[in-house]
Amino acid sequence: MWFFTPEEKEIQKVCRDFARNELAPFAEKHDNEETFNLKAFKHMGDLGLLGITADPEYGGAGMGATAATIVMEEFGKACAGSTLSYLAHTILCVNNLSNNGSAEQKAKYLPKLISGEHVGCMGMSEPEYGSDAVGMQTKAVKTGDFYEITGNKMWITNAQYADIVYLYTRTGPGKKDLTTFIVEKGTPGFTVSKEIHKMGMRSSPTGELSFQKCKVPAANRVGNEGDSTIHMMKNLEIERITISGISLGIAQACLDQCIKYAGERKQFGKNLAHYQLIQKMIAEMYSETEAMRRMLYTVCYEYDHGNKSNTLASAVKLQLPKMATKIALDAIQLHGGYGYSREFPVERMMRDNKLNEIGAGTNEVMIMIIAKNLLSEALRG
């Protein structure tokens, strides 16, 4: 994009090379085996990517949504599952902690998270509360210098590998009586109770977290009691922007694969590239991908320059994953029987992208947010 800074262009190059060499060659293996590419994850720390938006005082890069989205796009082209785990660590855990933690908490936890020595995750969704996050029932009760936490968190990316959980809990009966804690692996009463097997994003570990009278020091409370709603809403915007970058990467990878396949595959004595229907499909995929790119990075630019908009972030999150699923399905159709098999990566890309229409707010929730924001005055009438 024309407005990328020299630093952002360098990030793009570094991530493109890294994805080509350390993610793409192993994507199929980790998808088939449902395993996490921990070696590549650790190397992301060596490259300074695990704290892309975090406070430089603690080892972060201090960059914005544009840089973070560039990483998501470049990694997403190669292995969307590994990219989802990267997002859960870097945006949901590290970015949250960098923005909301105390100086003591940041000094204690951020350096190891940013270096890759520790893996982070965030605990928000519950078995009965997904889109209705503020309805969560995991409770934290203060007892002296500790809080006793009881409840379960579901669909937690990186659960099985996490050393640190950035955890949302309920500390009172009111809708906004939500409080955040940092919970360390090995804390008595905290376990990963279930491993979840998924349709896509299979190289990204997902699990259920259980807290049974888990005693967490009051010093691990992030901010004051009742601050979580503010923390949550503040971080959701950049989460929705950056996860859309994974969809952009998937769309671009599908387009690249289709161009390659059309130039190699022959039917009726000619390469597929000679047929007008194939040309039409590829032209439309290209146009859609470029529209996605310009919409996404325009919103990133606005966000980084102080023009933050929940409506625009939700619009990006609604449109890009939806368009990428269409592009992936078109890529499967163009490949014919090979597209439906695991001989080519487009079927994996379709499976992976479908999660982006659900996680970080479903398409339906995005529609509700956009409509409410645009029609708030009319709805009040």
SS3 content of the chain, % helix, strand, coil (to 5): 60, 15, 25
CA distance 363 to 345: 25
Question: DSSP string of 230-258?
Answer: HHHHHHHHHHHHHHHHHHHHHHHHHHHHH
Torsion, Cα of 149, 155, 157, 160 (10° steps): 70
Cα separations in angstroms, 114 against 4, 87, 119, 239, 293:
24, 13, 9, 18, 28
For residues 151 and 212, the answer to whether their CB atoms sit within 8 Å is: no
The letter for the amino acid at 88 is A
Question: DSSP string of 310-324?
Answer: HHHHHHHHHHHHHHH
Backbone dihedral region for residue 269 (phi beyond 0: left; psi -120 to 50: alpha; all else: beta): left
Cα separations in angstroms, 291 against 68, 152, 320:
19, 40, 9
CA distance 197 to 174: 34
Residues near 60 by beta carbon (within 8 Å), at least 6 away in sequence: 51, 52, 53, 54, 94, 98, 110, 114
CA distance 115 to 205: 20
Establish whether 8 is a catalytic residue.
Answer: no
**Quick one: how far is CA 217 from the chain centroid?**
29
CA distance 68 to 89: 12
- Which member of 239, 264, 347, 357 is catalytic? 239
DSSP symbol at 173: S
**Which residues participate in catalysis according to the annotation?**
239
